Structure 1
Amino acid sequence: MSQSEPKLIFNQHTTDGEVRVWQHNNRRWLDFNDSLIQSEIVLDRPDLLPLPLNQAMLAGTMFVEHPKRVLLAGTGGGATARYFASRFPDVVGDAIEKSDLVATIAREFFYFPKQDQNNWQIITADITTYINQCQQRYDLIVIDIAVDQKTPEWIIERQFLQQCRSILSKNGQVVFNLLVDDANAFLHYLS
């Protein structure tokens, strides 16, 4: 294999399809069933957010003055958690990931912040169950969940939105990664 080709360093078949980790030089990324990059890390600069998607989602932090507690729904490789742990080490964060496998991959391949060294933890749970049982209040909630490369409908349903609101601090914000096919679908999510 030449230096210019990515190397598959992890591959596991699950009931939902393939979960793969690739590496090329100092970049490593995660994908599910396809070539769409779910998460990426620059190995010699793990604090960076190399994907424009992550950068755009964190634009929501401009509206939260010094968040103390952050909830991530959908962890992927943990890029957002790494970013907060590096740039805002006093932030306490909970990353909720439904898949044990993805949580393990975040820890082993993507340097998810170690709980004994940071204020971050991965909790393997369904996000709706977690929110229903949650006793915490969050200053920032980041919803980054996709099914078949689309945002599931339940994410924008009133019940889920009310659940998110119930665990927000007084001035807290929710940021959504809305994955849609076209402008009409986007408008549907906003209505």
Structure 2
Amino acid sequence: MLQKLLSYLIPINIHKQNSDINKSLEVTWNNGKLVLDSKNTNYSYGSLQRALKKGLRFIGFERIKNFESILVLGVAGGSVIKTLVEEIKYKNKITGVEIDKNVLELANQFFQLNEIENLELVNDDAFEYVLKTKEKYDLIIIDIFQDTVMPNFLFEDFFINHVNSLLNLNGFILFNTMVLTEKDKERNKLYSSKFKEQYSLRMYPKIEEHNELFTIKKLS
């Protein structure tokens, strides 16, 4: 593919569209790989995939392989799902929740998420899904952004407690955050204080330039 080869020299944009939620969405060949970007940040298959892969490695690929169910809140192009399926060889059920139907259409069209047999894609608001699902999970990945903005509800007790209630004993939360300002640092510090002795929390700053990860294990 000529576009793929040329992308090692300069990014080659192949698709651009607007959506009601994410405004600008772009699919681009970059260094031989297709990536999905919003106006100001990478959404899938670039720095974001590298950050989340490191988070999964912190939890342990072999441990993840034995999990019975995984929930992904914020699918975008599905790069973390591809890491789970193609690199970790995860065979059990993955549920991916994405609020933007246009993003899901791009994920299926350009990244073939709809061809993954053990994946169920749900077009829904993550907040609403967490409130109404009756399922339990061994791993919950939270990766929700609107461009460079993280919704406030992610850091509020009501949402945190509901997510925690969906987690099986010895299960993990992998939470990807973006830290651009001192206010973001204070927000994350407050978030980390919300998990008491029944959880083991670790924070990994500067995973990529602006990404800070949390891994949270449910102990009791």
Superposition TM-score, scaled by structure 1 size = 0.83
2:112: which partner in 1?
Answer: 111
The residue aligned with 1:18 is 24
Match of 1:40 in 2: 45
Q: Letter of the 1:39 partner, please give it.
A: S
Equivalent residue of 2:70, what SS? Answer: strand
Whole-angstrom distance in 1 between the partners of 2:71 and 2:57:
15
Alignment CA distance shift 1:7-1:177 (3 Å): same
Distance 1:81 1:113 in 2: 11
- Alignment check: 8 A CA contact 2:39 2:147 kept: no
Superposition pairs for residues 34-183 of structure 1, below 5 Å? 34=40, 36-40=41-45, 51-62=49-60, 66-86=66-86, 87-112=88-113, 114-115=115-116, 118-183=117-182
State the 1:184 CA deviation: 4.8
Distance 1:29 1:162 in 2: 33
**Does structure 1 retain, via aligned residues, the 8 Å contact 2:19–2:102?**
no
- Report the Cα offset of residue 33 of structure 1: 1.4
2: CA distance between counterparts of 1:129 and 1:51?
A: 25
Provide the C-alpha distance between the structure 2 equivalents of 1:174 and 1:156, rounded to a whole number of angstroms.
14
Question: Partner of 1:71: helix, strand, or coil?
Answer: strand
Matched letter for residue 81 of structure 1:
I
Q: CA deviation at 1:105?
A: 1.0
Contact 1:82/1:113 (8 A) holds in 2: no
Q: In structure 1, list runs of 5 or more residues that go unmatched.
A: 42-48
Aligned length: 181
How far does the alpha carbon of each residue in 1:36-93 deviate from its partner, in whole angstroms, 9 at most, with x for none? Answer: 221127xxxxxxx984212233245339562211100101111111121222332210
Residues 117-156 of structure 1 show CA distances to partners (whole Å, capped at 9, x for unaligned) of x211211000111111111100000100113413222101
Report the CA distance shift for 1:126/1:54 in structure 2 as closer, same or farther (over 3 A): same
Partner secondary structure for residue 95 of structure 1: strand
Greater share of helix residues, 1 or 2? 2
Whole-angstrom CA distance in 2 between matches of 1:50 and 1:132: 27
- Tell me if structure 2 keeps the 8 A contact 1:150–1:180: no
Name the TM-score, length of structure 2 as normaliser: 0.73
Taking the aligned partners of 1:159 and 1:56, their CA distance within structure 2 comes to: 28
Q: What corresponds to 2:214 in structure 1?
A: none
SS at match of 2:178: coil
Instruction: After the TM superposition, list the runs of 4 or more consecutive aligned residues in structure 1 that deviate by more than 6 angstroms.
Output: none
Query: Could you tell me how far apart the structure 1 residues matched to 2:134 and 2:31 are?
Result: 43
**Secondary structure class of the residue paired with 1:33:** coil
**Which amino acid counterpart does residue 152 of structure 1 have in structure 2?**
P
In 2, the alpha carbon distance for the partners of 1:56 and 1:190 equals: 21
